[in-house]
Amino acid sequence: MTNKHGPEARGTGTMSVRQISSSMLLATLAEDPVMTDDVTAILHHSPACDVVLDFAGVGYVTSANLSLLLRLRQHLVEQDRTLTLRNIPPVVQNAFSITGLDHVFDVE
């Protein structure tokens, strides 16, 4: 994701991914079904950097989304990296609170 000219932005049409430094990736998520595809893409690219997911464009999450986020977090923890969630709308925050995941994920 980095070229000889510096960090490169890419997207699936709805998700914007930008490597903002050699150790941090920022992804702006959209709602499902695209969110599942986007998080899966990040997971399979195995970034050797910390990941920040911006939820500003997400209005809801499914149990499949939550499971996938947990898989991504575990994958990053195994690489001694972090997953941070930011700009979480109230309805999504409520889903994290109900499931207890608000104590699992780092939220800005």
Which residue in this structure is represented by tokens 């920040």?
52
- Cα–Cα distance, 50 to 71 (Å, whole number): 14
What pLDDT was estimated at residue 14?
57
- Tell me what the pLDDT averaged over the chain comes to: 84
Q: Per-residue pLDDT tens for 15-45?
A: 687 888 888 989 999 877 788 888 888 888 7
What pLDDT was estimated at residue 5?
29
Phi, psi of 2 (to 5 degrees): -110, 135
84 SS3 class: strand
List per-residue pLDDT tens for the chain, 108 residues long.
433 323 333 444 456 878 888 889 899 998 777 888 888 888 887 668 999 999 999 999 999 999 999 999 999 999 999 999 999 999 999 999 999 999 999 999
